[in-house]
Structure 1
Amino acid sequence: MVLLSGGIDSATALHLEYRRGAVLPLYIDYGQRAAACERAAAEALCADLGLSLDALELGALGTAFRRGHEWQAHVPLPHRNLAVLGLAFSYAADRHARRLCVALNRDDTTAYASAATPFLDAFRRLAATLDDIEIATPLIAWDKAEVIRQGRSLGVNYAHTYSCLLGRSLPCGGCPQCAKRRAGFAEAGHTDPALAGE
């Protein structure tokens, strides 16, 4: 199973896992502002490989977390990866998957506590007490630029990916995720097909 957000990293992980054999892509809507655009990207990425996308529709979760502080518009869940990984692990167990692929890259491990090595190690230990499902992080040694280089070699269509936090049909180009995306493509020496028309 691949946790597929529709972004650069998960698109690359999807192609890596596809080459390993049968793969089940999973999208989770937890009320993030960009959910509709992310899901459309995930659907397009799956279509590229002839795959069907499974989805968990939990938008009400984000609504509940926003209550009382509506300014928290983009990613409403504190420690998001803990919640998302728990849900994905449960779904993987329900679908009898033996491997759950999480598309975290090297940059993520220093940017977010819930993507750092101690968290991942702790989650793996906890998961192992429940089921024999491997928690795989195949991109963890690569920075964003290397993910893009590897993805291009795998044939990932990055025009079908979406990273913007704002959830607009055209990426804003200025939010933190768009900035990381822009920097990654620049370092990789390639033009970002999603931002090429600016």
Structure 2
Amino acid sequence: MNPKAVVVYSGGMDSYTVLHHALKQNRQVFAISFNYGQKHSKELIVAAEVCRSLNIPHKVVDITSINSLMAGSSLTGDQAIPEGHYESDNMKSTVVPNRNMVLLSMAIAYAVSLEAGEVYYGAHAGDHHIYPDCRPEFVNAMNAVSKIANYQSVEIVTPFLHSSKGEILASGIAMNLDYNHTWTCYNGREQACGKCGACHERLEAFAEKGVTDPLCYEAQ
């Protein structure tokens, strides 16, 4: 029997690649996604479709009831989603307070209940500038806590912690992944906006690797 692993799976490019990386590592994967009131909840639909196609157990956990405790982000509130590159200071409005600590805590609990020894999580270097809960210091500290918080030790696995978006894409290309089955845009409209920080980073990665992004974008 292959070892069990929980994959925090948003439906985006990074977690899609992590999901397949875990499968390539011969893990018995259990995917978990979260509805935290994000405007781009379309990613959850994409995640569900991928898990169905791969016959992977998939939980979607609704935590919108705690939105008032995680307020202030343009991803969940009335503020407009900022446009521009992730390096811009206005992108800090997309930070959801304590989001990854909350999500990882629940993923770890799920892993303990499954007797799974690992939780895979798609933090990467491109997010370090804006998101404190994607930085190595956070991941290392959270991993240390995860190993002592329960009778069963759970390791947080971040295969792309020091990788750029382009390097993640290269890994996916090597696995013959189809990124049409992902959603990255922070706006949950019919087509990707091409203007938010998430879209900018994604488009830059595809341009860097000289391949065409299969997603449809709104007219620029």
TM-score (norm 1): 0.89
Q: How far off its partner does 1:110 sit?
A: 3.4
Whether 1:146 and 2:167 are equivalent positions in the alignment is yes
Confirm or deny that 1:116 pairs with 2:135: yes
Kept in 2, the 8 Å contact 1:33–1:166? The answer is yes
Q: Percent identity?
A: 29
Quote the Cα distance in structure 2 between the aligned partners of 1:192 and 1:30. 27
Equivalence map 1:1-198=2 (5 Å): 1-21=6-26, 22-35=28-41, 37-62=42-67, 65-66=70-71, 70-72=77-79, 77-131=96-150, 132-195=153-216, 198=219
* Structure 2 SS opposite 1:28: strand
Contact 1:8–1:163 under 8 Å retained in 2: yes
CA contact (8 A) 1:2 1:101 kept: yes
Alpha-carbon contact 1:32-1:73 (below 8 Å) kept: no
- Listed one character per residue, the Cα deviations across residues 33-59 of structure 1 (whole Å, up to 9, x for unaligned) are 112x11111112223423232111112
Q: More helix per residue: 1 or 2?
A: 1
Q: How many residues align?
A: 196
Change (3 A) 1:135 1:101: same
Is the CA contact 1:105–1:139 (under 8 Å) kept in the aligned structure 2?
yes
For 2:185 and 2:67, the matched residues in 1 are separated by 18
Question: In the alignment, is the contact (CA less than 8 A) between 1:27 and 1:56 conserved in 2?
Answer: yes
Distance 1:72 1:60 in 2: 19
- Cα distance in structure 2, aligned partners of 1:23 and 1:156: 17
Deviation at 1:165, TM superposition (A): 0.9
Runs of 4+ in 1 over 6 A off after TM superposition: none
Contact 2:14 2:122 in 1 (8 A): yes
Given that residues 124 and 160 in structure 2 are in contact (C-alpha distance below 8 angstroms), is that contact kept between their aligned partners in structure 1?
A: yes
Gapped runs of 5+ residues in structure 2? 1-5, 82-93
**Greater relative CO (CA pairs within 8 A, separation 6+):** 1
> Which letter maps to 1:103?
G
Aligned equivalents of 1:73 and 1:92: distance in 2? 35
Contact 1:7 1:38 in 2 (8 A): yes
1:197 is displaced (CA, Å) by 7.7
SS of residue matched to 2:107: helix
Paired letter, 1:176: G
RMSD over equivalenced CA pairs, Å: 2.2
